[in-house]
Amino acid sequence: MTQKIITISRAFGSGGRTIGKQVAERLGIPFYDKELVDAVAKESGFHADFIEEAGEYAPVTSSFLFNIAVSPHPMSAMNTMSMADQLFVCQTNVIRNLAEKGPCVIVGRCADYILKDREDCLHVFIHAGMKFRAERIVRLYGETKQTPEKRLTDKDNKRRVYYKHYTNRNWGEAQNYHISLNSGLIGIEKCTDIIVDIANMYE
């Protein structure tokens, strides 16, 4: 297929990761999620937990200072770039290298922006209404002190700020993706079907 690299951006709780995994399985191509974090950890020296959290959310928070201490390679933070910026540069390199390797599905981490100049990509955005996502995160991740709605709003806002900071684009703007789907209305399985179907158009 021409559109052999599929990036999936998603609103927290919308099932974008699940859809990405299913799409990769159906197309028989690698799904980069944990592997991406591991590759970034190896290249950057940052701790995987830090990458998981800081690689998609608000670019500068006080917890970054804490993470200098817990990073297995604290020296990597000791240059003129902020840790968040270093992490972004490193993620960019890893994502470009993964795309070079061949067909794959990459979830999140501004991959749509990082790979925007490649013509062999299919950029997807998955979102859903508050009710669908709230029920889903409680079912998958359990309850917390915060209401699920508050958790979702906070995550959305952080992701929006992070994306704007590093891409100067608006997160969730339809024009940045080839397909955007509301998984709450359409259903996770059907979203997978549509993406696989479009990817197969280009075989």
CB of 130 to a second copy, least distance (A): 10
Q: At what angle do helices 148-167 and 130-141 cross, to 10 degrees?
A: 100
Among 181, 188, 192, 196, indicate the residue that binds a second copy (CB under 8 A): 181
Query: Which of 46, 113, 125, 162 touches a second copy by CB under 8 A?
Result: 125
Residue 63 CA to residue 177 CA, distance in Å, equals 31
Residue 6 β-bridge partners: 105, 122
Compute and round to an integer the Cα radius of gyration of the chain.
17
The single residue among 86, 153, 167, 180 that binds a second copy, judged by CB under 8 A, is 180
Mark residue 129 as left, alpha or beta (left: phi above 0; alpha: psi -120 to 50; beta: remaining): beta
Among 69, 75, 78, 174, binds a second copy (CB under 8 A): 174
Tokens, residue 197: 């179907």
Minimal distance, residue 185 CB to a second copy, in Å: 5
Contacts of 35 (CB under 8 A, 6+ apart): none
Instruction: Give the contact letters, 95-124, x = binds to a second copy (CB under 8 A), - = no.
Output: ---------------------------x--
Contacts to a second copy by CB under 8 A: 3, 11, 122, 125, 127, 170, 172-175, 177-182, 185-187, 190, 194, 197-198, 201
